[in-house]
Every structure is written in structure tokens, then in C-alpha cells.
Structure 1
């Protein structure tokens, strides 16, 4: 059984929401104030803040407050563990796919070889 990483699970759960994905995407262009981030979304600010709290708890964003302005920034390392998990999954499935392709190729060669022998008899 594969190792279970709670942080990875939390990142995927956080990114499973389209609003939070959009927030992470927007922060990929640079830090922004909460009001600027919230502007495109049709929801009350307290609801939007809950999305930010989820992203901050799982380590995808960091917030800071200067005066009355709260600013959010992306924490790129927050995606690292999830990226590593995806890479390991991809490598595993590529190996399985390669083994399957080799098996099918070998089976085809065997069928060709055995088919030719039978015809000659």
C-alpha cells in the first residue's frame, strides 16, 4: 500500500474546490490583497475568507496584514509534496504501461512464430 501523506491529501482536498483553484491561479501572478482576490467572486467576504483559511491551513498560501490591508501570497513549496506524489504515480503507471506493451509485443511475436510453424506442418 502506498504511503499516506496527510498534507498531500489536504492540498488535493483544498484544490478540489473551483474557488480555491482560482485563488491559487490568481496568486500565481503575484501577491494580492484579499479585496482584489475576492472581487471576481459572487460571495460574501466571510465566505471568501473561509476559502483563504483552507488554503493557508494546508500551506498553499500565506497571508499578512499591514494596517487594514490583508495580503495573500502563494507558497510554491506548498505544491511540492502534491507534485511529488503525482510524479510518483505517473512513474508507476508508465512502468505498468511499458510492461503491458512489452507483454503484448511478446505475445504477438509468439503468435507469429507459432502460426508459421503450424502452417509448415
Structure 2
């Protein structure tokens, strides 16, 4: 094994270790999140970490088999984030400035 191949393997192994640590920390954040939004963001970032892990595995194996899977995961992560953002935007919609009208004012 040549020096560049050794450096390549060491760097990919370090990337895998960092991805595993990030995944563990994200699982902790998802389970402890004080709000639903924190948990949703944690799940979105977890999808990105899964994509990074698949990219590292693909680089380690020198195989492009995982690229379509990474693309589908990215699409699902994006649509999930947009869906959660729309749900939270509707849920947290501010009340009108004038407030609710009384029966007497409607006439």
C-alpha cells in the first residue's frame, strides 16, 4: 500500500468516526429536544449525517452504488423539512391585530 492510499484510508476512517459521533449526538438531541421544532431539526440533520455516512462508505469502497440512495435521502429530507416548516407556520400563525370581534360590533 502506497503512502497516498494510506493517507486516504486514514482520512476516510476519521470521517466515519466523526459521522458516528455526530449521529450519536443527534440521537441525544432528538430524544432530549425541549420542543417539537428541535426534534424536527435534529431529524433533518440526521438525514444529512446518514447521507455523509453513505458518502464515506462509498468513498471507502470506491463504488458509486450509493449515490442514487443518497439523492433519494436528500430529497426526502428536504420535503420532510418543508412539510414540518409549513405545519409549524400554520400552528404558530399570529392572531389578527384587531382581535376577535364581538357580536355587537358585527351589526
TMscore range, shorter length: 0.3 to 0.5
Q: Which has the larger helix fraction?
A: 2
TM-score (norm 1): 0.32
TM-score (norm 2): 0.35
